[in-house]
Chains A and B, each alone.
Chain A
Amino acid sequence: MSSTLTPAPAVQGNTSHRVQSGLLDPKLIAKSLPDAVKKLDPRVMVKNPVMFVVEVGSVVTTISAIASPSVFAWSITVWLWLTTVFANLAEAVAEGRGKAQADTLRKTKTESVARRLTNWPASQAEEEVPGTALRLGDHVVVEAGQTIPGDGDVVEGVASVDESAITGESAPVIRESGGDRSAVTGGTKVLSDRIVVKIASEPGKSFIDRMIALVEGAARQKTPNEIALNILLASLTIVFLVAVVTLQPMATYAGAPQSMIVLVALIVALIPTTIGALLSAIGIAGMDRLVQRNVLAMSGRAVEAAGDVDTLLLDKTGTITLGNRQAAEFQPAEGVTADELAGAAQLSSLADETPEGRSIVVLAKTGYGLRERAQGELAHATWVPFTAQTRMSGVDLDEAEGLHQVRKGAAGSVSRWVTDNGGSVGADVAQLVDGISAAGGTPLVVAEKNGSAPAKVLGVIYLKDVVKEGMRERFDELRRMGIRTVMITGDNPLTARAIAEEAGVDDFLAEATPEDKMALIKQEQAGGKLVAMTGDGTNDAPALAQADVGVAMNTGTMAAKEAGNMVDLDSNPTKLIEIVEIGKQLLITRGALTTFSIANDVAKYFAIIPAMFAGVYPGLRHLNVMGLHSPTSAITSAIVFNALVIVGLIPLALRGVKYRPSDASSLLARNIGIYGIGGLIVPFVGIKAIDLLVQFVPGLS
């Protein structure tokens, strides 16, 4: 298998992102070995206190073994060095996978020539400069077949762009000026048409540069939880150091002074080497697992925070419901015919390029035989675009009888417009709106105002929403994990409630403006909760920045991508749920291996203590419950086991422990069962098995 984020679009479709990352590529191990040896540099090792102690111990035993050589001394020495190398190997392998991804990315960073517009938009004069010479705010023109020289926003034109280099997705995407699909990434290729791009990043700080740094682990810093765990591990290490150092005078008094080799072996066996060796690999692999799902986390801290999330803000459209709503029916108000309503609805939607708007025009044509009028047909028409604030769109026609205004939009907004313009909203309209909402649909109210006559409501357009399959089960899972889901929608409260109930979310925020969203996040955070959300538009940027986990869609604007702490290259908002699971899995892996590591010590004591002291206190032979062959074979077996268990657990560290969404109690019971009880039992079996082999080594029997 390939563990890389492959740019070959033919292989990697949208569904193939679930990568079985647990398997270890033997080639990768071989490739990582030199790096693992390089990491023996004490200046590097000292950052990992547990393994640093092992390295110092290895040096001490090496000196002892040289001073008084024996098979036992050299066996212990060799295996201690191997323990250190194995620990470095875990980290090197984890980093190696990232490096492979970085190399692929780097290939896309070919030195492109940029066509800089010197005085845009006043003139189209251009000059050729190297891509690296581009500065923030420069304008460049890119045409079909050319590579976009840097990150930026499209300011003129529309083009289809091949972004497979970054997303692995072969289908081209549309990038156009204005709106929320204006961001382009350096290194991607324009397939058709011509666009002008305003450069939004300094050279060397582009999105690809940051991606490379992230997957390579160059920007990696220890996360808060990793630091806390490191402190605990360091203190355990100190306790065991003290226990072993002070053991020597006690042993001397008992008449059994121990050799340096045995004392070092005891220290290494006791300190939590397993988790110490794998800790950083677990962190790197966590980021890596995200990358394999095409999510880029800007920091390890964000991945950890994902595991802690209490509240998920999910946009209804695209996340909870399938794509877009479709117009299903025109429901006229009293005294209005369906045809009248259809006509007005069509009129108001002509300039509305949203899928909903298009579906209204289609319904008017198919259901009511209204011919689609081209925008140009209507002279003196002023199109009123939809904004998040007015939440209405429509048209103003300058007709002979006076100004003819048509509006359609959310019930609340249009009603306000009608009352503001002297009209009143009848009870029948409210009934229609409530009826549609109660049925889970979205009502769009259509109203018009002719000249100086008061505005009146013509009727309601019934937009239907389809909830994605399997969402209810997903939300049930999240609830069991203790995560509250809040659906964010621009719909009115009734509509929102119907969909929320159908989808099974815990709460909803209806008629949401970006300000509402922001307020909700702040309110949750004030209660001590961590909030995750997705967003793509520029108006999402403040909320993305405020959220603890803000996942920006790759299709979104540069501003949104800058504000969030993760970017989803697939632009799939449902992935937020997976991100949370990966965050949890990362923490669980750390906890499980810590538990395993500490539980292992019990068996090692039963191997080493009788080996050390059964000579002077024969009663201690009873502690040799494993029936190990001899003192030397017992100590060697414990050390060999200690080293091998690191290698054995590298795949688990990289893959992460199995995680099934469930409540805390059952998760804990399950993991204590596997890693706690398992950690007690496995080494008894393992050490005994190794002893059965080691006892035949001459010099160790």
Chain B
Amino acid sequence: MSSTLAGWLQALALVGALALCYRPLGDYIAHLLTSAKHLRAERGLYKLVGVDGDADQRWPVYLRSVLAFSALSILFLYGLIRLQTHLLLSLGVPEMEAHQAWNTAVSFTTNTNWQSYSGESAMGHLVQMAGLAVQNFVSAAVGIAVVAALIRGFTRHRTDRVGNFWVDLTRICLRLLLPLSILFALVLVANGVVQNFHGFHDLATLGGDTQSIPGGPVASQEVIKELGTNGGGFFNANSAHPFENPNGFTNWLEVFLLLVISFSLPRTFGKMVGDHRQGYAIVAVMGLFWVASAALITFSEHQHAGTALQAAGGAMEGKEQRFGIAASSLFAASTTLTSTGAVDSFHDSYSAFGGGLTIFNMMLGEIAPGGTGSGLYGMLILAIVAVFVAGLMVGRTPEYLGKKLGGREMKFASLYILTTPALVLIGTGIAMALPGERAGMLNSGAHGFSEVLYAFTSASNNNGSAFAGITVNTPWYDTALGLCMAFGRFLPMVFVLALAGSLAQQQPVPASAGTLPTHKPLFVGLLSSVVLIVVGLTYFPALALGPIAEGLH
């Protein structure tokens, strides 16, 4: 079977599997976010930390809970990393420097999982399990909790309450992420992903050298790495490593896992707002971008110029022979569109346009379908902007799902769309202005610039994948990228929750024939154009100096 046909079949199977999960998973998440019942285990947890599970929070309180929880997470993870040499299961790894520990702590707490370290040589099993894997769960849950609050802003009327963060967080972890992780971890183990507590095995190779083979609880971390759109690999090679991703099936499964929650959340949204068509419209826009991006990257990789590459059937540099071009491109498109950042091939080696598309995917703001929760709230913010402009064109004060979009709502939506572009561009601009930092680039010219642009785009949008080819473990990059990750994660959350509070207070406007319909193909097209144009206009100059300059001869 040719690699192209295999790619098509994989993509089709993926669409089929995601479509099958859309309703049951989306409905299930909606149920767990709206149910009034607590599990016994949850009640026990609430008692333990002193939370009233039945009390709803106002948006500032919800926000404070999110920020306090995240700040404590960063502190805890930072401490754990710094102290790991004195703790159990450290495998004798060296102590990590402060700037790198800060970067790593922020990275995992913000669902970014940017790794300026190499997993097998810097992290012991304890940090991997009790630090990084835990954050993989809770950071994913925080994203879903925030979008739940935003959806409640649409569904609730004349109230200042948007839900209870602690309840949302607990339920998403216990009822959604844990069961799915256990199930799929077993599937991964059955297909060859390792799961043990071994340290390094020194083996003699056929060539007479010795090779050090690491072991570890890989499968348990691998599953939540994808499911929670985290992306931080157990090993440095991430999903290109055979212990993380041994074969074509696990590769397909990992793509499925990193897409499944984000693609099902629109159903949750539709269910909660009481109109499934609204969910279909949102998922259609997400799907459109995902399909287009996967197709374009695959196409671009097959078209790579150069005799050696053409002889190999395309740009195989940096890709695994066991996956091939199509499956690698599918993985690359999915991981950069979901804020996951796991990689099974190296984006730095992609063709100029293929690599440029991975950057563009992240620049979309991780919304198609985006990270768990964060993808949906990002898309809903852009939907608000689209509704605002289009709503005016039908001659009414714009309203989305019965809530009017006035000055206050537009203020928060505008601040949201302002944040990540500012972080990406200012970060890249400063890096390029500092000759010392620029020297970290492996390549010169436009490609070297793309490496820096990729790094800041990845960090600010909380993707976490790396273009590679750039030395980022310097105090400056660790600090700057850490700041980009933190601001890129938490500032948007502030605006989203403020918006949720403002929407929840409103009295809904009933829909009429004069109301802009937000579930029809016309709106899907409109929202897609708004996403493209807003992102395109913002980043066009930067992209022109990077991938476009490199790709056009």
Most buried by A among B507, B540, B545, B550: B545
CB < 8 Å neighbour of B526 from A266, A617, A672: A672
Proximity bits, A211-249, B CB within 8 Å = 1, else 0 = 000000000000011011101101100111011111111
Is the CB–CB distance between B395 and A609 below 8 Å?
A: no
Cβ–Cβ < 8 Å partners of A671 in chain B: 393-394
CB < 8 Å neighbour of A663 from B514, B526, B550: B514
Report the bound CA distance from A592 to B394 in whole Å.
9
Q: Indicate if A205 sits at the interface (CB-CB under 8 A).
A: no
CB < 8 Å neighbour of A664 from B409, B514, B550: B514
Q: Indicate if A366 sits at the interface (CB-CB under 8 A).
A: no
Is the CB–CB distance between A622 and B517 below 8 Å?
A: no
Q: Indicate if A602 sits at the interface (CB-CB under 8 A).
A: yes
Q: Indicate if A587 sits at the interface (CB-CB under 8 A).
A: yes
Q: Indicate if A250 sits at the interface (CB-CB under 8 A).
A: yes
Quick check: which of A23-31, A479-487, A534-542, A639-647 contacts chain B, the rest being far away? A479-487
Q: Indicate if B178 sits at the interface (CB-CB under 8 A).
A: no
Q: A308-B396, A617-B549, A620-B544 are in contact. Are A245 and B429 (CB under 8 A)?
A: yes
If over half of A's interface residues share one DSSP class (helix, strand or loop), that class is named, otherwise mixed; here it is helix
Report the bound CA distance from A402 to B406 in whole Å.
69
Give B443 Cβ to nearest chain A Cβ, in Å.
12
Quick check: which of B194-202, B271-279, B411-419 contacts chain A, the rest being far away? B411-419
Cβ–Cβ < 8 Å partners of A232 in chain B: 385, 388-389, 410, 413-414
Quick check: which of A145-153, A320-328, A593-601 contacts chain B, the rest being far away? A593-601
CB < 8 Å neighbour of A250 from B389, B429, B507: B429
Q: Indicate if A276 sits at the interface (CB-CB under 8 A).
A: no
Cβ–Cβ < 8 Å partners of B217 in chain A: none
Cβ–Cβ < 8 Å partners of A664 in chain B: 394, 396, 513-517
Q: A232-B385, A254-B446, A620-B544 are in contact. Are A246 and B425 (CB under 8 A)?
A: yes
Q: Indicate if B313 sits at the interface (CB-CB under 8 A).
A: no
Is the CB–CB distance between B549 and A619 below 8 Å?
A: yes
Cβ–Cβ < 8 Å partners of B391 in chain A: 591
Proximity bits, A643-679, B CB within 8 Å = 1, else 0 = 0000000000000000100011101110110011000
Is the CB–CB distance between B395 and A246 below 8 Å?
A: no
CB < 8 Å neighbour of A252 from B430, B432, B510: B432
Q: Indicate if B537 sits at the interface (CB-CB under 8 A).
A: yes
Tell me the nearest residue of chain A to B552, going by C-beta: A619
CB < 8 Å neighbour of A238 from B396, B418, B533: B418
Give B284 Cβ to nearest chain A Cβ, in Å.
17
Q: A613-B549, A664-B517 are in contact. Are A591 and B393 (CB under 8 A)?
A: yes
Proximity bits, B438-478, A CB within 8 Å = 1, else 0 = 10000001100100000000000000000000000000000
Q: Indicate if A470 sits at the interface (CB-CB under 8 A).
A: no
Give B20 Cβ to nearest chain A Cβ, in Å.
32
Tell me the nearest residue of chain A to B448, going by C-beta: A253
Cβ–Cβ < 8 Å partners of B551 in chain A: 619
CB < 8 Å neighbour of B544 from A235, A527, A613: A613
Proximity bits, A511-555, B CB within 8 Å = 1, else 0 = 000000000000000011100000000000000000000000000
CB < 8 Å neighbour of B390 from A229, A250, A583, A591: A591
Q: Indicate if B341 sits at the interface (CB-CB under 8 A).
A: no
Q: Please report which residues of chain B, range 500-544, place their CB below 8 angstroms from some CB of chain A when the two chains form the complex.
A: 507-510, 512-517, 520, 522, 526, 529, 533, 536-542, 544
Q: Indicate if B207 sits at the interface (CB-CB under 8 A).
A: no
CB < 8 Å neighbour of A235 from B417, B515, B516, B537: B417
Cβ–Cβ < 8 Å partners of B537 in chain A: 240, 270, 598, 601-602, 605
Q: Indicate if B306 sits at the interface (CB-CB under 8 A).
A: no
Q: Indicate if B397 sits at the interface (CB-CB under 8 A).
A: yes
Most buried by B among A225, A594, A613: A225
CB < 8 Å neighbour of A528 from B402, B418, B538: B402
Q: A243-B538, A602-B533 are in contact. Are A231 and B517 (CB under 8 A)?
A: no
Give B524 Cβ to nearest chain A Cβ, in Å.
13
CB < 8 Å neighbour of A594 from B389, B396, B421, B513: B389
Report the bound CA distance from A663 to B516 in whole Å.
9
Cβ–Cβ < 8 Å partners of A583 in chain B: 395
Cβ–Cβ < 8 Å partners of B389 in chain A: 232, 591, 594-595, 598
Give B475 Cβ to nearest chain A Cβ, in Å.
20
Q: Indicate if B40 sits at the interface (CB-CB under 8 A).
A: no
Report the bound CA distance from A571 to B550 in whole Å.
69
Proximity bits, A477-504, B CB within 8 Å = 1, else 0 = 0011111100000000000000000000
Q: Indicate if A588 sits at the interface (CB-CB under 8 A).
A: yes
Give B512 Cβ to nearest chain A Cβ, in Å.
3
Q: Indicate if B422 sits at the interface (CB-CB under 8 A).
A: yes
Is the CB–CB distance between A239 and B421 below 8 Å?
A: yes
Is the CB–CB distance between B397 and A307 below 8 Å?
A: yes
Tell me the nearest residue of chain B to A663, going by C-beta: B513
Is the CB–CB distance between B510 and A529 below 8 Å?
A: yes
Cβ–Cβ < 8 Å partners of A242 in chain B: 421-422, 425-426
Cβ–Cβ < 8 Å partners of A249 in chain B: 429-430, 432-433
Q: Indicate if A171 sits at the interface (CB-CB under 8 A).
A: no
Is the CB–CB distance between A588 and B414 below 8 Å?
A: no
Q: A239-B421, A598-B533 are in contact. Are A528 and B394 (CB under 8 A)?
A: no
Cβ–Cβ < 8 Å partners of B536 in chain A: 602
Is the CB–CB distance between B407 and A665 below 8 Å?
A: no
Tell me the nearest residue of chain A to B525, going by C-beta: A672
CB < 8 Å neighbour of B414 from A235, A310, A591, A675: A235
Cβ–Cβ < 8 Å partners of A238 in chain B: 418, 422
Chain B residues bordering chain A, tally (CB within 8 A): 66
Is the CB–CB distance between B395 and A659 below 8 Å?
A: yes
Give A298 Cβ to nearest chain B Cβ, in Å.
19
Q: Indicate if B134 sits at the interface (CB-CB under 8 A).
A: no
Q: Indicate if B405 sits at the interface (CB-CB under 8 A).
A: yes
Report the bound CA distance from A517 to B509 in whole Å.
21
Report the bound CA distance from A617 to B352 in whole Å.
14
Q: Indicate if A407 sits at the interface (CB-CB under 8 A).
A: no
Cβ–Cβ < 8 Å partners of A602 in chain B: 533, 536-537
Tell me the nearest residue of chain A to B427, going by C-beta: A246
Report the bound CA distance from A12 to B445 in whole Å.
72
Is the CB–CB distance between B393 and A667 below 8 Å?
A: yes
Q: Indicate if A577 sits at the interface (CB-CB under 8 A).
A: no
Q: Indicate if A590 sits at the interface (CB-CB under 8 A).
A: yes
Q: A224-B407, A609-B540 are in contact. Are A587 and B414 (CB under 8 A)?
A: no
Tell me the nearest residue of chain B to A483, going by C-beta: B514
Report the bound CA distance from A595 to B385 in whole Å.
12
Tell me the nearest residue of chain B to A256, going by C-beta: B545
Q: Indicate if B308 sits at the interface (CB-CB under 8 A).
A: no
Report the bound CA distance from A613 to B546 in whole Å.
11
CB < 8 Å neighbour of A588 from B395, B425, B550: B395
Q: A250-B429, A672-B526 are in contact. Are A307 and B414 (CB under 8 A)?
A: no
Is the CB–CB distance between A479 and B513 below 8 Å?
A: yes
Report the bound CA distance from A240 to B396 in whole Å.
28
Is the CB–CB distance between B394 and A668 below 8 Å?
A: yes
Is the CB–CB distance between B433 and A668 below 8 Å?
A: no
Give A307 Cβ to nearest chain B Cβ, in Å.
5
Q: Indicate if B428 sits at the interface (CB-CB under 8 A).
A: yes
Cβ–Cβ < 8 Å partners of A316 in chain B: none
Give B413 Cβ to nearest chain A Cβ, in Å.
8
Is the CB–CB distance between A307 and B545 below 8 Å?
A: no
Tell me the nearest residue of chain A to B529, going by C-beta: A676
Report the bound CA distance from A605 to B544 in whole Å.
10
Q: Indicate if B291 sits at the interface (CB-CB under 8 A).
A: no
Is the CB–CB distance between B425 and A243 below 8 Å?
A: yes
Cβ–Cβ < 8 Å partners of A620 in chain B: 544, 548-549, 552
Tell me the nearest residue of chain B to A524, going by C-beta: B510
Tell me the nearest residue of chain A to B422, going by C-beta: A242
* New A-B pairs, 5, CB < 8 Å, besides A229-B392, A307-B396, A623-B548: A235-B417, A239-B538, A254-B449, A528-B509, A665-B522
Closest 8 CB pairs of A and B: A482-B514, A591-B392, A584-B395, A246-B429, A619-B552, A482-B512, A235-B414, A482-B513
Can you name 5 A-B residue pairings with CB atoms under 8 Å? A232-B385, A239-B538, A247-B541, A248-B429, A481-B513
